[in-house]
Amino acid sequence: MRQYDKWIMLLIVGIIVLAVWAILPLEEKINLGLDLRGGMHLVLEADESKLPPGEDLKDAMNTGLEIIRNRIDQFGVREPTIVHQGDKRIIVDLPGIEDPHRAVDIVGKTALLEFKLLDEGGDLSGALQGKIPPEDEILYNSKGEPYLLKKETLLTGKTIKDTRVEIGQWGQPYVTLEFDEEGAGKFAQITGRHVGERLAIILDSVVKSAPVIKTRIPEGKAVIEGNFTMEEANELRIVLKSGALPIPFNIIQNTTVGPSLGQDSIRKGLWAGITGFICVILFMGFYYKKAGLIADIALLLNLLFLLGALAALKATLTLPGIAGIILTIGMSVDANVIIFERIREELRKERAPRSSVDAGYSGALRTILDANITTLITALILFQFGSGPIKGFATTLSIGILASLFTAIVVSKTIFNLLLAGRPVKRLSI
Amino acid sequence: MQFFGETDIDFIGLRKIAFIISGVVIGISIVFLVLKGGPKLGLDFTGGVEIHLKFNGPTPISWVRTGLSKIGLGSAVIQSYGKKEENLVLIRFGVEEVSQDTASKIVLRIEKVLREEFKERENPFIVQSTNLIGPKISEELRRGALLAIIFSLLGMLIYISWRFKLRFAVGAVVALAHDVFISVGALSLGNFEFNLPIIAALLTIIGYSLNDTIVIYDRIRESFKTYRKRRFSYKKVFNLSINQSLSRTIVTSLTTFVVVLALFLWGGAAIHGFAFTLLVGIIVGTYSSSFVATPVVYTWGEGKTKRR
């Protein structure tokens, strides 16, 4: 064995050990995308037209993200990802979520709580026909019944200290709020000043209730009633406690994958991959005999390195990513095929086995590099312009190609060198 | 083992027949596209709401429609897809039909009304996935896909003209356009929708087909150095190079085809269109590198020689 081969051998073994170390245990190290593990991907876009005057969009976005994070933490999702995208978008990834509808409400609700007085002296039916008094506005409750309200907001949910869900005497849940000192003072003032009038509690422009103020409320507590289910009340508790979003958000994309579909995709992808893999392994063995087995070893290592790189880079494996791996299985033997065909040609010219191998490798090298770069260009562009799942495809495809260059050119060549070293070889099994 | 020994096929001599075949197939593809009113765009590019359901037993679409019409969505697109025994149904409607805010809620309502409908029919279902794409996102995805296609074609053109002479680049690009046209036609014929994975597959085909072409080009370049000295004609050098690469072309296409076939057969409904595109593309791409790209380079060169 030549000294050079020894070092290369050492390098290869080192990389194998690193790759194995990187991927074990597999379930923890390979980061599955939402399309495989199930979950919800939301893109929220701030409605700039509703930015309160004097408010900075950037500040609003930062506060918004914090509030959303807060809500999700309270909702109890493991490993959520909440990040900014561009100037006015927030991306929320919630893996393994079981109740997607609830999650949408919790993330997307503005939760602006307002207290306004009813204009009981005003003419509601006249206002409904368009004659709204200048200081008033009309809002509706969830059943569509109109209320004529004074425009002025007396108090908002900003000063809420705590919220709780309680059960009323008929078993219906309701939400209680507790204001902080400042809020409690204001609330006492308002209720004291307007005894006998009706105070509307409004959430995101929908009137929740409009009770009559019976007496001044000094302790800073209020109750929100409505026809809530237990879940709805709980939702309200979470969004009120974490505060209102400083700017309303629209959900412009919502992709939700149930856990069963993800499992199913993994199973099918695995099955297709294994079948394809066995076919390629057998074919190479039959077609190129012992040399084919060398290519098979190279292919096996290729997959190991690919998974190792995925784990080390903390890249996300998606369904198209699995397709990329499967495609790699078929395409990555190409480098070895080019080399073997070259070696066969050299052998046909009655060249000696060892020099045929060397000539085959050196002759094929440029072709292999030239040819593989095109697929790399494609992968790069897909990575740049693709959405999440497609990025996964681009990742596995490009890592697969790079790994195949290494395994075909370095690994299989070293195996050849080892087999051919130190003894006279009359025939090559290729 | 060997499929064939040294071959001596006259690829260049067959070029006229090959051009006619390719022309006819491309013509058919275009006719199909026109007849179907252009490529059918999927949710990624149109925007809207899509819900995928998996039923326990066989489910006529009319049952689903009966349920949906109760909440005013009787006009939604309802299709069964995937393998028959999987009982998969998809429902799709535009976001403009419901305001965006309620789009998320409507999924819940659909679920509810269908649960009632299918409770009577004793055919429960699960919601496999839901997808809401707003108009802004679909517009961005359309632009992204278009840019990706333009940039990869440009990238390939630049790369090839850097590595080879201009007429080789032209031959390669003609072959690429050929592959893409036929693949798109086949997708239309197979009633597949264009979504992001299909664009990814088309770009992969571009890379793959070019990969094949470059292996042959490399061979031609190398052969010129050795054989021109021996006064071989252009035609002979071209033919020799394609023939020498043939074994490799077939073997690699075969291994790639086999894995993609496995993906197509067992990979599941979600990547069916993706796998189909690759299957067609591999066949067409393999054919085009031997029968289109190289002969085009030859024909162009021939014209030049004659003028001289």
Average pLDDT over every residue of B60-89: 86
Of A379, A270, A28, A144, the residue nearest B201 (C-alpha): A379
Across-strand partners of B135? none
Average pLDDT over every residue of A353-370: 89
What pLDDT score does A297 carry?
Answer: 94
Average pLDDT over every residue of A21-40: 88
Say which of B137, B256, B271 has its CB closest to residue A330.
B256
Give the list of residues 6+ apart from residue A207 with CB closer than 8 angstroms, or none.
A139, A140, A141, A147, A149, A200, A201
Homologous superfamily of domain range B15-42+138-307: Multidrug efflux transporter AcrB transmembrane domain (1.20.1640.10)
> How near does any CA of chain B get to the CA of A126, in Å?
29
**Chain B residues with beta carbon closer than 8 angstroms to that of A250:** 100-101, 134
Is some CB atom of chain B closer than 8 A to the CB atom of A326? Answer: yes
What pLDDT score does B107 carry?
Answer: 79
- Structure confidence at residue B100 as a pLDDT band (50, 70, 90): low
pLDDT at residue B98 tops 70: no
Domain residue ranges of chain A, discontinuous segments joined by +? 3-35+258-420, 39-256
Identify the residue with better confidence: B141 or B304. B141
Predicted structure pTM score:
0.85
Say which of A100, A271, A348 has its CB closest to residue B266.
A271
Average pLDDT over every residue of A285-296: 93
CATH number of B48-133: 3.30.70.100
Lowest mean pLDDT among A225-234, A318-327, B96-105: B96-105
Average model confidence (pLDDT) for chain A? Answer: 88
Of the CATH numbers 3.20.20.220, 1.20.1260.10, 3.30.2400.10, 1.20.1640.10, which one belongs to the domain with range A3-35+258-420?
Answer: 1.20.1640.10
Token pair of B62, please?
A: 């009319």
Say which of A287, A326, A384 has its CB closest to residue B259.
A326
- Structure confidence at residue B19 as a pLDDT band (50, 70, 90): very high
Identify the residue with better confidence: A78 or A87. A87
- Is B152 in Cβ contact with A279 (below 8 Å)? no
Average pLDDT over every residue of A275-288: 95
- Is B196 in Cβ contact with A272 (below 8 Å)? no
- Structure confidence at residue B308 as a pLDDT band (50, 70, 90): very low
- Structure confidence at residue A76 as a pLDDT band (50, 70, 90): confident
Average pLDDT over every residue of B200-217: 91
Average pLDDT over every residue of A284-296: 93
Q: Are B38 and B124 in contact (CB under 8 A)?
A: no
C-alpha distances in angstroms, A192 versus A208, A220, A224, B56, B94? Answer: 22, 12, 19, 61, 51
- Structure confidence at residue B103 as a pLDDT band (50, 70, 90): low
Say which of A341, A389, A390 has its CB closest to residue B248.
A341
Task: Please tell me the class of the A39-256 domain.
Answer: alpha beta
Question: Exposed, middle or buried: residue A406 (CB in 10 Å: 0-12, 13-18, 19+)?
Answer: middle
Most trustworthy range by pLDDT among A48-62, A269-283, A386-400: A269-283
Lowest mean pLDDT among A79-83, A130-134, A292-296, B103-107: B103-107
Main-chain dihedrals φ then ψ at residue B132, nearest 5 degrees: -115, 120
Q: A196-245, pLDDT tens digit by residue?
A: 899 998 888 888 888 888 888 888 888 888 778 888 888 888 888 888 88
Of B276, B270, B167, B158, the residue nearest A265 (C-alpha): B270
Which of A299, A381, A429 to mutate to probe the B interface, most B CBs <10 Å? Answer: A381
Which residue intervals of chain B are DSSP H helices?
15-35, 43-46, 61-69, 100-120, 135-163, 166-189, 196-227, 234-266, 272-288, 294-307
Most trustworthy range by pLDDT among A148-157, B222-231, B272-281: B272-281
What pLDDT score does A132 carry?
Answer: 85
Say which of B52, B211, B271 has its CB closest to residue A374.
B211
- Structure confidence at residue B307 as a pLDDT band (50, 70, 90): very low
Of A313, A281, A340, A277, the residue nearest A394 (C-alpha): A313
- Is A377 in Cβ contact with B207 (below 8 Å)? yes
Q: A366-420, pLDDT tens digit by residue?
A: 889 888 888 888 889 988 887 778 888 999 999 999 999 999 889 999 988 888 8
Q: Which residue of B has its CA nearest to A99?
A: B108
Interface of B with A in 186-225 (CB under 8 A): 196-197, 199-200, 203-204, 206-208, 210-212, 214-215, 218-219
Q: Are B257 and B285 in contact (CB under 8 A)?
A: no
Q: A125-173, pLDDT tens digit by residue?
A: 888 888 888 888 999 888 888 999 998 888 888 888 888 899 888 888 9
Lowest mean pLDDT among A36-40, A278-282, B257-261: A36-40
**Chain A residues with beta carbon closer than 8 angstroms to that of B218:** 366-367, 370-371
Percent of chain B with pLDDT over 90: 35
> How near does any CA of chain B get to the CA of A45, in Å?
10
Give the list of residues 6+ apart from residue A255 with CB closer than 8 angstroms, or none.
A34, A40, A41, B129, B130, B131, B132
Is some CB atom of chain B closer than 8 A to the CB atom of A331? Answer: yes
Token pair of A182, please?
A: 């400042």
Percent of chain A with pLDDT over 90: 35
Domain residue ranges of chain B, discontinuous segments joined by +? 15-42+138-307, 48-133
Which of B1, B87, B194, B252 to mutate to probe the A interface, most A CBs <10 Å? Answer: B252
Average model confidence (pLDDT) for chain B? Answer: 87
Give the list of residues 6+ apart from residue A141 with CB closer than 8 angstroms, or none.
A147, A206, A207, A208
- Is B257 in Cβ contact with A101 (below 8 Å)? no
Of A195, A222, A220, A196, the residue nearest A209 (C-alpha): A222
- Structure confidence at residue A306 as a pLDDT band (50, 70, 90): very high
Q: B157-202, pLDDT tens digit by residue?
A: 888 888 888 888 889 989 998 999 999 999 998 889 898 999 999 9
